[in-house]
């Protein structure tokens, strides 16, 4: 299975990030998991992705990505 960055990049350059969901570890969220919509991903960087939330850029390191689900609902990455 690809790394989180590879899976997100593949989606970005093939089908696009619109409609995909990225689950991340987020302390304070219910169950410590937060779902991000692919529509709001601004950049897929070398060590983190940039997500825009309420007009503010948030930097999320890839080690916090738990799962990447494409627009069809298929899991393309899942952390063990």
* Nearest partner of 61 among 2, 1, 3, judged by Cα: 3
* Nearest partner of 71 among 12, 24, 17, judged by Cα: 17
Which pLDDT score, from 0 to 100, does residue 1 have? Answer: 74
For the chain, domains (ranges, CATH) are 4-78 (2.30.30)
Q: Which residues of the chain have pLDDT under 70?
A: none
Which pLDDT score, from 0 to 100, does residue 2 have? Answer: 87
How big is the chain, counted in residues?
Answer: 80
Query: How far apart (Å, rounded) are the C-alpha atoms in residues 51 and 25?
Result: 14
43: β partners: 50
Give CA separation, 76 vs 23, 30, 46, in Å.
12, 23, 19
């Amino acid at each position: 299975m690809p790394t989180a960055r590879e899976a997100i990049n593949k989606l970005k350059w093939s089908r696009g990030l619109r409609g995909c969901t990225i689950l991340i570890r987020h302390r304070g969220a219910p169950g410590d998991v937060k779902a991000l919509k692919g529509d709001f991903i601004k950049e897929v960087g070398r060590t983190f992705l940039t997500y825009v939330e309420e007009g503010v850029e948030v930097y999320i390191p890839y080690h916090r990505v738990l799962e990447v689900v494409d627009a069809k609902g298929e899991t393309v990455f899942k952390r063990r």
